Chain A
Amino acid sequence: MKQLFLERSNPRNQAFVLCLVSLILFVIDGKSTALKPVRQAAGSLVEPIIWLAVLPRRIAEQGLSFFELRDQQRLELFEQRRLSETLQARQLKFEALLSENNRLRALLGSSAKVSDLVLIAEVVGISPDPDQHYAMVDKGLNDGVFVGQAVIDATGLVGQVAESTTNLSKVLLVTDQSHAVPVLSVRTASQLIVEGTGNRNLLSMRHVSESLDLKVGDLLVTSGLGQRFPSGYPVAEVARYERAPGAAFAEVLAKPSSQLQTLDHVLLVFDSAEDLTPDVALETIGPADG
């Protein structure tokens, strides 16, 4: 490798110049999206390092499942079948409700999209920096993943894709300090914005006026406003509502619905079949004719 700087150049000058370069890069990359293409291209090159970090856990999991007793596996299979049956039964009722809902909506002259296409991804890592809440998942540009894509799990909204390289994506979690999502209170249909706090199990809401009807225990679902997140997915449940006398706004904290501490598998949501690469196997959630 050829030296970038001549050997006789003073290391102190080098250090000074490189410190300045770092600061400038930090401001540009932290405040704007100008360097995103560079990050994406270079990120694809360093993907193997991330896979290397995942390797020990993968091996451990494979090893464990190899030694897992057959009876235990049979038991698990039995459990899964039962769960699947209950879910199917519930689905029947859901479909009846859906058709009824659609009929009512047709009377009102509006239609709602109920089912979404999803891609299942495995979480291969979480942010090593506790102040940044993101998860790495094992699907990337090759699978049709795009920046800004909504990510859910079985219990609710997880976050959105922030960066994507060839085979990996970085999913910004709803609890990250820079994340916000427009929501709807299911009980009263009031519009709110839920923000991340940097705490793994707390979300906050700013500018909640005193007259707004909001109670502890209210479920907040994505409203679909802003066109980023599909509507109807649970985001959080109001956990604390405090009105300080004299304060302009109430202080509201909420607990995220999804299992952010123990993320294992997540679902990447696609709006339409058009922006998909054809060879990727997708599942449909919700009734098929939605």
Chain B
Amino acid sequence: MADPFVKGRWIIFVSLLLAMALVLVPLPASAPFELNYLRPDWIALVLIYWILAVPEKVGVPAAFFLSLITDLVVGTPFGFHGLSFVILAALAKSSYQQVRMLEIWQQSILIAMALMIVSGIQLLMMTLMLDRSSNLLQFMKPITSALFWPWVFLVLRFCRRRYL
């Protein structure tokens, strides 16, 4: 029985898995260490894409589960990515009809803004609740992420049309 909710779901899992691996791949030791602050947030980008593209398959609860796995893999306390992924998912889910209509570069700007808010929340969580300081370079991450959005979008759209 081909359940429309299940069909093609593996491509979503695989893309999220690859995004996690991409986050974990270490930079070469010769690269300046600060470059780590500029690496795009691949998992959030892939999550946003799937919610915009197939909101009936990926939603807020899925984003929460994803955040728990991300916390385990990245080594942050449980719930650190939870808040941001849930907020991103809720934003994407409530506005996918409008966002889909926009040009890719306009989507990039929106995503940069959303990720900026989320970075702020993450910074507050770390500094206020765990007493850890951070580098303000962290606020460059949303911008590099937004620059990579068009490529993520095109690759995942190709995958969706092919497999989903």
**A residues with CB within 8 A of B:** 1, 3-5, 11-12, 14-15, 18-19, 21-31, 35, 39, 42-43, 46, 49-50, 52-57, 125-132, 134, 163, 170, 177-178, 198, 200, 261-262
Contacts and interface: CB of A to CB of B under 8 A. Distances in A.
B61 A27 contact: no
B29 A12 contact: no
A50 B25 CA distance: 9
Contacts of A27: 79, 129
Given A11-B90, A22-B67, A30-B130, A39 B23 contact: no
Given A21-B82, A26-B129, A53 B87 contact: no
Given A49-B17, A130-B33, A130-B135, A57 B59 contact: no
B136 to A, nearest CB: 11
Given A15-B87, A22-B83, A46-B73, A57 B25 contact: yes
A3 B130 CA distance: 33
B78 A25 contact: yes
Given A4-B61, A125-B26, A52 B82 contact: no
Contacts of A23: 79, 82-83, 125
A43 B23 CA distance: 17
Contact of B78 (A1, A14, A26): A26
A49 B19 CA distance: 10
A256 to B, nearest CB: 14
Interface stretch (B34-42, B102-110, B142-150, B153-161): B34-42
The CB with the most chain B CB atoms within 10 A, among A14, A15, A46, A125, is that of A15
A25 B60 contact: no
A243 B149 CA distance: 50
B35 to A, nearest CB: 9
Interface in B49-106: 59-61, 64, 67-69, 72-80, 82-83, 86-87, 89-90, 93-94
B20 interface: yes
A49 B86 contact: no
B126 interface: yes
Given A4-B61, A18-B82, A19-B86, A126 B26 contact: yes
B129 A127 contact: no
A22 B75 contact: no
B127 to A, nearest CB: 10
A177 B132 contact: yes
B51 to A, nearest CB: 10
A50 B24 contact: yes
A11 B94 contact: yes
A15 B75 contact: no
B72 A57 contact: no
The CB with the most chain B CB atoms within 10 A, among A26, A43, A46, is that of A26
Contacts of A24: 79
Contact of A128 (B24, B93, B126, B135): B24
B75 A49 contact: no
B24 A53 contact: yes
A18 B60 contact: yes
B33 A11 contact: no
A26 B134 contact: no
B21 interface: yes
A50 B17 CA distance: 10
Contacts of B37: 130
Contact of A18 (B86, B126, B138): B86
Ranked nearest first, the 3 interchain pairs of A and B with the lowest CB-CB distance are A22-B82, A26-B79, A25-B79
Nearest to A22: B82
21 contacts: A5-B61, A11-B90, A14-B61, A18-B64, A21-B64, A26-B79, A26-B125, A27-B129, A30-B77, A46-B69, A52-B20, A53-B20, A53-B21, A53-B22, A54-B24, A56-B25, A57-B26, A125-B24, A130-B135, A131-B133, A262-B29
